[in-house]
A and B are shown apart, each in its own frame.
Chain A
Amino acid sequence: AQSVAQPEDQVNVAEGNPLTVKCTYSVSGNPYLFWYVQYPNRGLQFLLKYITGDNLVKGSYGFEAEFNKSQTSFHLKKPSALVSDSALYFCAVRDVPTGGFKTIFGAGTRLFVKA
């Protein structure tokens, strides 16, 4: 069965510092991996995805994520955090082909960026 773990409920970082939000996954096939961000009273917004190819994926708002097959991880990173990055971040996985189109989400990590 496919699963996603976000080991940190909350990440605190100072503005201007690099940030990392961790994600590990478990699938039986090849994973398709996604990051979404959720702001208060708004829907989830797509940040980036890994399908195949280069392990380093670049996405919206300066975010990037690195797919590491041996560690089954897909950590989200940004070189310099902004206060406006403060939000709830979700990692998600699709187990292709065994899981079909079902997307499994992690429980989320709340990011606080302090000025």
Chain B
Amino acid sequence: GAGVSQTPSNKVTEKGKYVELRCDPISGHTALYWYRQSLGQGPEFLIYFQGTGAADDSGLPNDRFFAVRPEGSVSTLKIQRTERGDSAVYLCASSPQGGSTDTQYFGPGTRLTVL
């Protein structure tokens, strides 16, 4: 079956611009996660959705970052006033129920470059 998909695969933007990154989870998965992976590092947790609500947004670095999942399926990560330090690969994952023992299934990521 179809896995987690993310669009775009690459995004280049200029400092100060606004960007949106999209994630389509596996059909039927209620939990969705966003991570950020910088070069040479492991994924860093950003936010976790259970259904439509953000159950844990403690990983969002500041108020320039925001994510939504209005219908409990597709999610959009929004970054305002981008900075060069935001350059990274943004990963999305989904899991069937969001329980603590759930396996997360990752998408291929969106590589964001802020010039």
Q: Is B62 an interface residue (CB 8 A)?
A: no
Query: Which of B58, B91, B106 is within 8 Å of A102, CB to CB?
Result: B58
Q: What residues on B are CB-neighbors of A43 within 8 Å?
A: 3-4, 91, 106-109
Contact B100 A94 (CB under 8 A): yes
Q: Check if B65 is an interface residue, CB within 8 A of chain A.
A: no
Q: Please encode chain B, from 91 to 105, with 1 for each CB lying within 8 Å of some chain A CB and 0 for all others.
A: 101000010110111
Given contacts A49-B101, A101-B56, A102-B58, 10 further A-B contacts (CB under 8 A): A43-B107, A43-B109, A44-B91, A45-B106, A90-B43, A101-B31, A102-B48, A102-B56, A102-B59, A103-B45
Closest-by-CB residue of B relative to A92 is B42
Closest residue of chain B to A101 (Cβ to Cβ) is B48
Interface string of A63-81 (1 = CB under 8 A from B): 0000000000000000000
B interface majority secondary structure:
loop
CB distance from B97 to the nearest CB of A (A): 11
List B residues at the A interface (Cβ < 8 Å). 3-4, 31, 33, 35, 40-45, 48, 55-56, 58-59, 91, 93, 98, 100-101, 103-109
Which residues in window 61-113 of A have CB below 8 A to B?
90, 92, 94, 96-97, 100-108
How far, in Å, is A18 (CB) from chain B's closest CB? 24
Q: How far is the CA of A26 from the CA of B3 in the complex (A)?
A: 31
Residues of A with C-beta under 8 A to B103 = 34, 46, 49
Bound together, the chains give a CA A101 to CA B49 distance in angstroms of 10
Name 9 interchain pairs, CB-CB below 8 A, sorted by A: A34-B103, A36-B106, A44-B43, A46-B105, A90-B43, A97-B100, A103-B33, A103-B104, A105-B44
Contacts of B107 in A (CB 8 A): 43
CA distance A41 to B107 in the complex (A): 11
- A101 near B42 with CB under 8 A, answer no
For residue A32, which residues in chain B have a CB less than 8 angstroms away from its CB?
100-101
